[in-house]
Structure 1
Amino acid sequence: MDDRAKNKQKTQGQGASAAEKGTDGRYALALRAIKILEEAGYEARLAGGCVRDRLLGIQPKDYDVATTAVPNQICTVFKQKNIKVVPTGIDHGTITVVMAGQGMEVTSLRRDVSTDGRRATVAFGSTFEEDAERRDFTFNAMYEDAQGRIYDYFGGQEDLKQGRLRFVGEAEQRIREDYLRILRMFRFWSRFGFQPDAATLEACRTEGQGLRIVSQERITNELLETLGGDHVGPPLKAMAETGILELVLGVRELPETLLNTLDALQISRKEERGPARLGLILMQRLGRDAKLLEEAMQNLRLSRSVQQKVLLSLFVPLDQLGQDPGVWMEHIDLWEAQGASFLETLLPLWRVMYPDQKAVLDQLEGIESRFGHRRRSKVPLDGQALITQCGVKAGPELGLLLQDLKKRWRLGEWQTPEEGLQLARQLISEPREKPSSP
């Protein structure tokens, strides 16, 4: 019996347990799509990442269905059931089926006719094994039917058990079909903590130059996903050792101290973790030169929003922290205006960057935890109230008083309008520095 025959498995035991894990509504819709196709005389199964995630006990983000039906047949079958279909990728055999307001990709079985290192010209296939042969990693080349049976042609289940990353078939060939698969390997390593086998890692090293034909946007997306993983240290170190990191980021090596820092930076929001780690790597190479950092981020095709988050997180006036936490509230406002969270993202980053500032960071965390919501609510005093009830005249002094009251409101020093007026009268009675003339 050859290796392929040995690897070909159709185990019912693990499939049944996987089926029990799919309790969300999208899984039910996927089963309904499979049933509709089967009733029309076609074979259909869940395919790829959703099968992998279910076997790992992870709820999939999406459910993809593979079928022996070709695109026009897929459209006909679902239209007959008055179900909306959208030909999103019809040239590559993919139809989006919309049920209960949710889109699901239903794709014809395929085989590659030719590839150019990024895209493939495909023909529709007739067997699931042929479809599996064109997929990237063994654990992404599995299928699951409506009864929970797993169809595993290349040992993906065993690789999941062993925590192993392995290409389907010959690693070099899989990479030459799509060079972005090099970065996908490091992304899965960072996400799951799986180890690539020796052949996989060596193939990434020898074929790395092929990444030069991949668009910068796709490279950056994969890089951010890798940097956002829970196990980022080992894959980043391997990216540096294989020369991949120099190709995609211009960085030859990462000091052990930086790797430890990146590993320690466990920001809860994954989408914020990647940009924060990227900023630290760029700062290691370029220093605290905002212009150089911004130029590097533009070359990486990072969105303006991500660039702002990186710059705001790294360029902080630490010398002002102990003097006036209110100044830091202003800085935090700028950060959260980008849609990010201070407590979940910025504070963990600062704790890693500035361990010697623990006391003041603790102070900021306490203020934010107790009173941070007030930055998003209106201060219950305005200039008119101060004019009528405190006798303040309109002008620069009124502006300074309002600014001071707002800062103290956010720091929790007063809560009600009455407390605010009392504090205002106290501040008015105290000597205040006059505003300088313009």
Structure 2
Amino acid sequence: MTKLPSLSSEAWLNDPALRRIFAALAAAGGESRVAGGAVRNALLREPVNDIDIATTLPPERIIVAGEKARLGVHPTGIAHGTVTLVSGGKPFEVTTLRIDVETYGRKARVAFTDDWEADARRRDFTMNALYCSVDGGIYDPVQGYKDILGGKVRFVGEPAARIKEDYLRILRFFRFHARYGRGAPDRKGLAACITYKAKLKQLSSERIRQELFKLLEAKRASDTVKLMAARNVLKVLFAPAADLMPIVRMAKIDAAQGLAPDALLRLALIAKAPHSLRERLRLTNAEMKRLEVIGSHVTPHPSLRDKERRAVLYRVGAEAWRDMVRLAWAQSKQRLGDKAWRELLAFADQWTIPRFPLSGQDLLACGFKSGPELGQELIRLEDWWIASDFTESKVALLRRLETRA
């Protein structure tokens, strides 16, 4: 049997704010442990952000314990046993151990219990079903630590049963495999996900978007997307592009260049018409604007001369320039470490975009009246200025205006 490590020296576990929560719950007679993601991440040596606590105390006693210890008390999900306690300005979700009596999608009718193993068996994956006591001891009722070591994302119990409780777990299976998995995915889990993949259509756009974007940013995103495409899981969400090689290249380029994974850019590579996914994936106005700019201008290429690069960069802005170069590089046939593409990407940081020296007020001062003609003349002058490689001064532009008049 694999020996379980201790987390007693972890800084987050020794945080005085968390210790106050443990002390308050213990004073009320409850047994409490950190549960789920915080324990998983600590064992994986990844950052621990949100800390959730499981306890044997029922919700009403959690509230009393928090008030007695002068903690902030917020019954954020009391029907499901969750009370948020605030200590040192930090919120901690404290949830009573529970079992699912009846499940229907994202929600469930629960019964409270003091059985730690029963609570673990209602969770999705074994690596999310570990608990850590205040002294750093780990409780692992479903062999989650072994799966963490082996990079295996495995459902707790029967995969089909877990999936039927919430069909979002299909996407979560692939997302966790993309982030934490190594080697081939769990065979039984994959088979169950494929069997029930059509049920993804029942999920809300918000939930699909959240899981898909996290998946696209994971370290094994490209391999996992290829797996989902091969098993027709991706097709349930949207029609994927025929060629998935660009996302494979983008992942490698991002890693080589130290670029943060960008879910929207990767989506633009795998979806035939990303603009059409606004409602399906609840894309924001800002995300739609990014996609619009990317698709409506000349795509940067290393063959562009500096003057042409400056003209495109001026039109689209630095952020869109980087987006367009990253997409074009991924779709090209050039080497992943190609110097010309690296220089093209860096061009946005090497040239400061100038400001057009004229405004509508300048034309009004020259006798133009407000209206379409003024706007059109301003556009013509700006085009002239860009064609001069941004060298014409305000005085020179006004002189051209006077000449035209």
The one-letter code sitting in structure 2 at the alignment partner of 1:299 is R
Q: Is the 8 A contact 1:118 1:214 kept in 2?
A: no
> Tell me, what secondary structure is at the counterpart of 2:50?
coil
Kindly state the Cα deviation for residue 319 of structure 1 after the two structures are TM-superposed.
Answer: 7.3
| Structure 1, unaligned runs of 5 or more | 1-5, 287-292, 415-422
After superposition, what is the alpha-carbon deviation per residue over 1:399-433, rounded to whole angstroms, capped at 9, x for unaligned?
Answer: 6899599979xx9x99xxxxxxxx7399579x969
| Match among 278, 285, 309 for residue 297 of structure 1 | 278
| Structure 2, unaligned runs of 5 or more | 369-373
Where does 1:8-87 land on structure 2 (aligned, <5 Å)?
11=4, 14-15=5-6, 18-23=7-12, 27-87=15-75
Cα separation, partners in 2 of 1:76 and 1:402, compared to 1, 3 Å: farther
Kindly state the Cα deviation for residue 189 of structure 1 after the two structures are TM-superposed.
Answer: 1.4
Residue 369 of structure 1 aligns with which residue?
349
Residue 240 of structure 1 aligns with which residue?
229
Kindly state the Cα deviation for residue 19 of structure 1 after the two structures are TM-superposed.
Answer: 3.5
- Does residue 166 (structure 1) correspond to residue 147 (structure 2)? The answer is no
Aligned-CA RMSD value: 3.9
Residue 289 of structure 1 aligns with which residue?
none
Kindly state the Cα deviation for residue 86 of structure 1 after the two structures are TM-superposed.
Answer: 1.2
> Tell me, what secondary structure is at the counterpart of 2:84?
strand
After superposition, what is the alpha-carbon deviation per residue over 1:240-276, rounded to whole angstroms, capped at 9, x for unaligned?
Answer: 232211111233x753534533533528675x61111
Report which of the two has the higher share of helix. Answer: 1
After superposition, what is the alpha-carbon deviation per residue over 1:70-117, rounded to whole angstroms, capped at 9, x for unaligned?
Answer: 111111111112211111111111111122222211111110101124
d(CA) in 1 for partners of 2:55, 2:195: 35
d(CA) in 2 for partners of 1:435, 1:91: 76
Deviates more, 1:324-333 or 1:103-112: 324-333
Tell me the TM-score normalized by structure 1: 0.76
Kindly state the Cα deviation for residue 222 of structure 1 after the two structures are TM-superposed.
Answer: 1.1
> Tell me, what secondary structure is at the counterpart of 2:86?
strand
> Tell me, what secondary structure is at the counterpart of 1:196?
coil
The one-letter code sitting in structure 2 at the alignment partner of 1:298 is E
Q: Is the 8 A contact 1:30 1:65 kept in 2?
A: no
Q: Is the 8 A contact 1:89 1:95 kept in 2?
A: yes
Give aligned pairs, total. Answer: 390
- Does residue 139 (structure 1) correspond to residue 127 (structure 2)? The answer is yes
After superposition, what is the alpha-carbon deviation per residue over 1:40-98, rounded to whole angstroms, capped at 9, x for unaligned?
Answer: 21101000011000000111120001111111111111111221111111111111112
After superposition, what is the alpha-carbon deviation per residue over 1:364-421, rounded to whole angstroms, capped at 9, x for unaligned?
Answer: 545432344x67xxx69888xx99xxxx97878x96899599979xx9x99xxxxxxx
- Does residue 351 (structure 1) correspond to residue 340 (structure 2)? The answer is no
The one-letter code sitting in structure 1 at the alignment partner of 2:75 is P
Cα separation, partners in 2 of 1:190 and 1:436, compared to 1, 3 Å: farther
Percent identity of paired positions between Structure 1 and Structure 2: 30
Q: Is the 8 A contact 2:249 2:330 kept in 1?
A: yes
Residue 200 of structure 1 aligns with which residue?
189
Deviates more, 1:116-125 or 1:154-163: 116-125
Cα separation, partners in 2 of 1:118 and 1:362, compared to 1, 3 Å: closer
> Tell me, what secondary structure is at the counterpart of 1:324?
helix
The one-letter code sitting in structure 2 at the alignment partner of 1:207 is Y
| Match among 253, 258, 280 for residue 269 of structure 2 | 280
d(CA) in 1 for partners of 2:38, 2:90: 16
The one-letter code sitting in structure 1 at the alignment partner of 2:198 is Q
- Does residue 222 (structure 1) correspond to residue 206 (structure 2)? The answer is no
